[in-house]
Structure 1
Amino acid sequence: MRAFLGALALALGLGVALYSLRGAFTLLPLEEAPCRPAPLPERAELYTNGAVEIPLCRRAWLVFRLQGTPAGGHGPWAMVVEGRRVLWQGEVLGVREVKVKTSGRGVLALAFPNDLYQPPEDRNLFLLRLKVEPP
């Protein structure tokens, strides 16, 4: 009887531990950070994976003039995000203009997630100009 109760307690404890682990490793969405106005970047060079924050805290049209250098047969992948929303994403080969409309809610960012360096090729993303137009 003692062995049975011990095994039952062990199984119950193991079940609770496994249930707790599942909850501990479940990804939850991050809270959106408040937008804090600051000077906008005029240019940016992304030589590795990263992002450029664009602290524009109002509704507007943004025009990005981007340039990409390819490597491995593909150009850099660029993403324009506002909070949790992806406003635009695509490959940038050569010079490309991208126009997006912002809602003024959430932090804006230009992200570069697919860096590659295979000498003599080096995939990079450049923000040549950022223009703000009224909505």
Structure 2
Amino acid sequence: MTNKEEIHTLINNYATYADTRQTKAQFDLFTKDGSMSVYYPWNKGKAEEINTSEKMLATFEALKQYEKTVHFIGQVEIALDSEKPRQASAYVYTIAHHVITKENGEKSLMIAYLRYDDSFEKTESGWKFKHRELHADVIENRDLK
């Protein structure tokens, strides 16, 4: 497998592990000092920093509040650094669907239109996320019938 194929698989695995609630496997896709910056529309350009193992695991664990999630990965642009062969970056578009049951028993669907600006590091066990910058550009909520 080429470096780009390995990185693309890493990106796909992140979504799969999120959807199947494999919290530890999702966490293990990051370097030991891996981190995330999350930009939500309501934070007016200020990032929520997820920069410790505890915060990272809690973020992935929070997906369990949803009955079901489905992440659809769109365009992926991967760039290898010829001067630093153990580093790479990617720009990824994703649409994430989250189903939740409300207190009254009705279901709703939250759809998040996301962009990731990723940096990667090649470790002895393969490519890992060094940092994921997540931009939640639009979040839409719908009632499900």
TM range (shorter): under 0.3
Q: Give the TM-score taking structure 2 as reference length.
A: 0.25
Q: Name the larger-Rg structure.
A: 1
Structure with the larger RCO, 1 or 2 (CA within 8 Å, 6+ apart): 1
